[in-house]
Structure formats: structure tokens, C-alpha cells
Amino acid sequence: MGNENSEERYEDFVSLFTRHEPALRAFVRSLVFTWDDADEVMQNTGLVLWRKFDTFDPDTDFMRWACVVARFEVLAWRRDKARDRHVFDEGLVNLLAEEAADEHEVLAQERRALRVCLQKLPEKQRRIVMAAYEPGVRLNQVAAKLGKTATAFYKILNRSRSGLLKCIEGQLLREERGQV
């Protein structure tokens, strides 16, 4: 039974960490100078998160908890690198961390609004937008697949983007007013 709980705990951690890793990496990257520095801090952060996962309350926000841990790891990394003149001072790291945490919440709200607005698009229009943002896709290939010229496809896509932007802005405004 103890082994089963340990395995379940491990799966819960891996699921949460992999879901939030890109945003957490962006948070860390905003606090250090190079990608290599971010990799080093992320490795340490991942280890600390795993070691402290027993203290994580599943009813709270994993990303917010992970950002607190990451901030401390950035500060520890900064202390280790203190002789390097290219390292931010602690006050600046804390300010950047607070701003990055706020930015994470804004981006999360925008992603939620985008999901809502995508669902409001007519099916055909939604498929066009989704096809345009497939990883590695070339828009002229999507246009050809739909039997459209590249110019016609771009016009359709731009109208869809404009409509999505208006919808997202409206959705965010409704959320701000509590009218979701």
C-alpha cells in the first residue's frame, strides 16, 4: 500500500510538473540572463519541488507554489554566482519575480478567454484557425488544402483573428466585472 501511494504521488507530481514546466521555465528565464542559467535553476527547482511535494496542498495553485520555490532557487543561484557582475541583485530578482507571477496569471486568464472564444467560432472557421496554428504547418499548405489562394486564406485568417481578439477582450472584461 505504501508503494502504491508513493507511485501515485510520483504520478501526481510528474503530471503537474510537466503541465506547468513551460510556464515555470519562462518565469525562471525572466529572472536570469541565459538559457543555460535557466536550465541550471530549473534542474534545481525540479529537484526541490519533488523533495517538497509532500508539503504541497493539492487544493492550491501548483504554479504559484512552484514559482515561490523557483524564486528561492534563483536567489540561491544568484548567491552562488554573486562574484559575477552580470547577476541581478536580490531586490531586482524579487521585483522581477513578482511581475512574472502577475504576468503568469494574466496569461492564464487570456488562455481561458481564448478557449471560450474559440468554442464560439463557427466550426469551419475554428478548424481554419486551428489548422493555421498547428506546429510546423505552412500557411500556404493549409490554404491549398482548403482550396483557397494564399491571399484569400490570409484574409479569412485575419478576419478570424480580429474576431477572436474582440471576443477575448470582451470575455476578459466580463470576467473582470464578474459576469462570466
First to last CA, the chain: 43
What residue spans in the chain does CATH classification 1.10.10 cover? Answer: 122-180
Cβ neighbours of 144 (radius 10 Å): 13
Give the separation between CA 45 and CA 75, rounded to whole angstroms.
11
Q: pLDDT tens digit string along 147-167? A: 888 888 888 888 888 889 899
User: What is the value of pTM for the model shown?
Assistant: 0.48
Q: pLDDT tens digit string along 72-96? A: 999 888 887 766 555 556 676 677 6
Give the separation between CA 18 and CA 69, rounded to whole angstroms.
16
Average model confidence (pLDDT) across the chain:
84
The CATH number of domain 122-180, selected from 3.10.310, 1.10.10, 3.40.50, 3.30.1360: 1.10.10
Say if CB 88 and CB 96 are below 8 A apart: yes
Helix (H) / strand (E) element for 110: namely helix 90-120
